[in-house]
Structure 1
Amino acid sequence: MSWTAQDIPDQTGRTAVVTGANSGIGYVTARELARRGARVLLACRSERRGKEAVERLHREIAGARVGYRHLDLADLSSVRAFAKGYDGGGGCDTLDLLINNAGVMALPRGATADGFETQFGVNHLGHFALTGLLLPRLLATPGSRVISVSSIMHTLGDIDLGDLNSERSYRRWIAYGRSKTANLLFVHELSRRLAALGAAHPLAASAHPGYAATNLQTTGPRLSGRPLAARAMSLGNHLFAQSPDSGALPTLYAATAPGVAPDSFTGPRVLNWRGSPSPSWRASRTLDDRTGELLWAASEQLTGVTYEGLPR
């Protein structure tokens, strides 16, 4: 049986934070959670695009409980400010769903405000810090979940613990694959530590959209000054990709469906490319305890964020 957005359980009374929710699968994720009654905070870098997305949601969903909060994952001071100022609404400081969705893909080499390679810094370290800073709220909220959006393209790059910031060499697609491998290792290690603590929540899981048509595919070529490549990516989206609505379903399933297992990886059913949500194949290296532990330690050192209360 195919699982659709209509199968999302009632989310009334629950609060969700969705990073990068102003467009693409992040916007669809926020929209469908709001449609089911959740209060949704759109955590976005651009105030203009974030507020435009909130206005659009109000037009699409009568009575939607949505709001914008500034969050720049490429700047740890912004991550800390977001977590410090978090308010679930109505004086409530619990958090039911943290959807680590925002990301960048195949960009020219650059650096975050803190000097990290951009893809590793945004896709992994920013979300690592955000989750750690919000963890007390997640631990205090029964039934909470943390969902990290990875990619089947994690297969392109293994973690190089001796060169996490790609300083020796930089290839944009390899760096992207490494950042997506880091997402899966993060969820694996977080799940392991929560299990060691005996915590019933949050549940940590991951998902990927398959090949979904979003602006991720065209941003890298555009920033690299390669207009022909950008047009080719846009054409590929048009001819082969599934819609953002379909691409968001694995995330929504992992975030809301009953019976989701810790450290599970959900993606599209058909060749990890398109279709209804289903358990997804993942590289065995994303389940390696030792690598997960070492990446975790390095991430704590780089971000200065420690997960207080979790066993090491």
Structure 2
Amino acid sequence: MSNYSLSSRAHMQGIQTAAREHSMLGINLRQRIDIFRILRQKGIWVMFQPFDGPYGECLSVGDSLGILLNVKHPPNLQRFTAAHEYGHIVMQHVQQGPCIDHEEQISPQHRQIGGQELEAQTFAAYFLMPQELINATLQRFGLPYKPEKITPLEVYQMSLEMGVSYAALVNHLAALKKVSQRAANILRRVQPKDIKARIAREASLQDSWADVWTFHARDAGRTVFAHERDELHIFLAEEPEGDLWEVAPAVATASVALINIDLEMAMHTDEENSLAYLRHFSFRAHMPGFTSIQLYKRSRRQEIAEEVFTLHAHVLPKPAQGLLEQQKYAL
């Protein structure tokens, strides 16, 4: 059998296994997939350890199954690695011994892999990014199912919503033929750190791994899953002499802290290319928990709120060395 046939077979095995797991677990494929909750439900132990080389490992000890993840890595890479190791487990690769994975097995830049590693890598991509979730996310961003034009910022923000890396999403959009290979290559030239710098502007991130989210009027009422030290930037239209957008006082005592308010000019995407003003609110997630950020538009002539913008945020803790936090209580 040719190498192409073997790769094609491994690729299909990963896709089919991911679909079967989705069905068996009854997962809502239009929502972000919580890989760590699934691992807990399946009775698979998850441990975070500081590794210099490996990204992750899965192994079987007696009747127990376990996954080791590199605590030094950012959360979305840990999630993808966890899904990769879960793929090894459900496809019974661990019966032949522990699976130890390094960058060349996990990183989406390394595509020249085959056999069990290609099966697990394909499984991870299709398990965390099923086509239904991709389509639902494109729809939430006001994009068609096969966008002819999609910006690096849009792809980066989509990756945050799905809980995967920018590079993994670019590769998967190309694999699903949502974007052309040429468009994917253009997207790959842009680094997330440059996207984050353009959003944050003068403000500096406390953590280079922290993500930077952007929200607009269409995102009112959304619920997102951010991590400690992530930044949340909200842009709302406002006229300099018109009504004012302000922050509800309760926000200051919640899991996020206001770090800056600014009024900026932006180019409208209408036919006239007119200028618009945006009130830019910057928040930083500083402690785990659930919070609702509420902004209200107040008339300059009276104190009545004419419009309200609410964003709900689950702030997740950065994994610490040791057992997955929710599993510590099971011992």
Q: Fold-level match, TM-score > 0.5?
A: no
- Give the number of the structure whose residues are more often strand, by fraction: 2
| TM-score where L is the length of structure 2 | 0.27
TM score, norm. by length of structure 1: 0.28
* Higher-Rg member (1/2): 2
Ranked by relative contact order (alpha carbons within 8 Å, sequence separation 6 or more), the top structure is 1
